[in-house]
Amino acid sequence: MLLCEVASRLEAEELVRPEDPEVEVPSAVAADLLSDILASRKEQFIILTGLISPQVIRTAEVVGALAVVLVRGKHPTQEMIGLARAHGIPLYTTMLPLFESCVRLAPLVQRVRA
Amino acid sequence: MIGTANGFSVAHELVYTLKVRDAMRTDVITVTPENTLREVQVLLREHRFSGTPVLADGRLVGIVSIEDIINALDRGHISQRVADWMTRSVVTIQDNMPLSRAVEFFQRYPYGRLPVLDSGGRLCGILTPSDIIARLMVELNRLAEDAARRETDLMARAGTRVTDGSELKMDFRVSAGDFDNAGIASARIKAVLKERGVDARIVRRAAIATYEAETNIVIHSMGGKIHTAINAERVLVEAIDWGPGIEDVEKAMQPGFSTASELVRAMGFGAGMGLPNIQKCADRFEIHSTVGSGTHLRIELDLRSAVPQGGE
Ligand SMILES: Nc1ncnc2c1ncn2[C@@H]1O[C@H](COP(=O)(O)OP(=O)(O)OP(=O)(O)O)[C@@H](O)[C@H]1O
Ligand SMILES: [Mg+2]
């Protein structure tokens, strides 16, 4: 799936624009624990989370996440937006809860695997 | 950004710190009592305004709104003088008042615009709700830009760098409880390794291991430091803190073991996965801890093998 497809599937608002909206997103990690994201063995993924803190962006930077999507209508602080800009990490927010977001993305991920 | 949890509280703070003069428009088109309503109608249409202040000798004496014009057209007095039909009791606001005051006014009165007066009582601008929103958006963006600039500066400055023979050394201080800056060392190490063309998977493992070490110092210790030494063969990361030390290291190394507080868990940490994750990411890993004096992690990754090792 492409990053721009993810955004439109999730009806997400774009807060930090991706350099390449057409970047291929092979998978996603959905977690409300940064520890889980840091321990994930996946390599190319976007992060879906309900957590709001600069650590979300720092974690995304460390694992090289392709983008961060904040769920449940969570809005980041300006600090987070600034951090994401500085590190070139695309940032989105969606009104959908975490589970619903995963359900919407599942068909796209399966299409990649098929 | 406005109206939702975080954006709202920032915007809320901003309306108290910004003044009316920070948001008002100063390119005000005014009319005099001698103008006709027809002239005002043309003016409002041209500029797409919904009303205009009326000035006599530089003093605000009234306001003519689009409703006044519609009424005039309806009732046939459109060619009469402004003086006879303008609204005389005008609600105004001082330019040095906080924007929150203007927001309150817009909630209390049915008007869509407020003439702004300076301390001498002279008209110096006009304010509409959309001026306030536009200003808040600019200000919110500026806050984000400031944060981005701070981060870029920090990345450029963080850590003392010395080149010692063929080795690049970087040292970082890590303060207890300083969550916001946990991640600086790992981001720097990542950038340096990337710049050197190290395999992306190795860079990633080095960054993750360092970040876990940084957060442990922030969360569990009284403060410490990260030493890094990079040469062509390997990257060495040492995380050293000044206590309290770990009582049972074997237990601490078990996945899922954590003494993190509820508060730390609410921030997304404290799953007890950090130390096992460091071990998984590293090619060589040592942990030494003495209760009362501190913990010392030695994390090493080979830079030449692209094959992931450890638990992978
Ligand atoms: N530098 C340290 N000083 C004192 N205690 C530590 C230190 N590092 C780890 N510990 C202890 O070891 C436990 C396990 O650490 P580990 O990093 O595996 O998990 P965590 O930090 O609790 O959670 P996570 O890393 O998943 O966010 C910690 O809960 C803490 O009790
Ligand atoms: Mg930890």
DSSP assignment of B140-177 equals: HHHHHHHHHHHHHHHHHH-SEEEEETTEEEEEEEE-TT
Q: Is residue B81 included in any domain, yes or no?
A: yes
Q: What is the pLDDT of residues B7-30, one digit of tens each?
A: 567 778 899 999 999 999 998 899
Domain boundary among B113, B131, B149: B131
Give the pLDDT band of residue B174 (cuts 50, 70, 90): very high
Check whether A90 has a pLDDT greater than 60. yes
The CATH number covering residue B282 comes to 3.30.565.10
Q: Give pLDDT tens digits for B294-311.
A: 999 999 999 986 555 544
For residue B19, what are the domain limits? 10-131
Contact B274 A61 (CB under 8 A): no
Domains and CATH numbers, chain A: 3-113 (3.40.1390.20)
Q: Ligand 1 site: residues with CB under 6 angstroms?
A: A 35; B 212, 216-217, 219-221, 241, 244, 246, 252, 257-260, 269-275, 295
Range with the poorest average pLDDT among A44-53, B103-112, B232-241: B103-112
- Residue that finishes a domain, picked among B131, B147, B177: B131
Q: Is the pLDDT of residue B2 over 50?
A: no
Distance separating alpha carbons of residues B229 and B227, to the nearest angstrom? 7
Largest CA distance in chain A: 40
pLDDT given for residue B163 in this prediction: 82
Span A73-98, average pLDDT:
95
Instruction: Tell me the CA–centroid distance for residue A22 and ligand 1, in Å.
Output: 39
Distance CA B10, CA B146 (A): 14
Q: Tell me if chain B has a CB within 8 Å of the CB of A43.
A: yes
- Which pLDDT band, with edges at 50, 70 and 90, does B68 fall under? very high
Residue A39: which of B207, B267, B273 has the nearest Cβ?
A: B273
Q: Is the pLDDT of residue B312 over 50?
A: no
% of residues, chain B, pLDDT over 70: 95
Tokens (6 digits) for A78: 């300006």
Instruction: Print burial letters for B1-39: b (CB count within 10 Å at least 16), e (below 16).
Output: beeeebbeebbeebbeebebbbbbeeebebbeeebbbeb
On whether residue B4 sits in a domain, the answer given is no
Pick the closest to residue B123 from B200, B185, B58 (CA basis): B58
Give the list of residues 6+ apart from residue A16 with CB closer than 8 angstroms, or none.
A81, A84, A85, A89, A90, A91
Q: What is the pLDDT of residue B305?
A: 67
Nearest to A6, CA basis, from A59, A79, A65, A52: A65
Q: How many Å apart are CA B149 and CA B221, to the nearest integer?
A: 29
Report yes or no on whether pTM surpasses 0.90: no
Q: What is the ipTM of this complex?
A: 0.93
- Residue A8: per-residue pLDDT: 96
The answer to whether residue B155 is domain-embedded is no
Task: Check pLDDT > 50 for residue A91.
Answer: yes
- Extract the tokens encoding A74: 């969570």
What are the structure tokens assigned to A60, written together?
């995304």
For a pLDDT cut of 90, what percent of chain B falls above it?
80
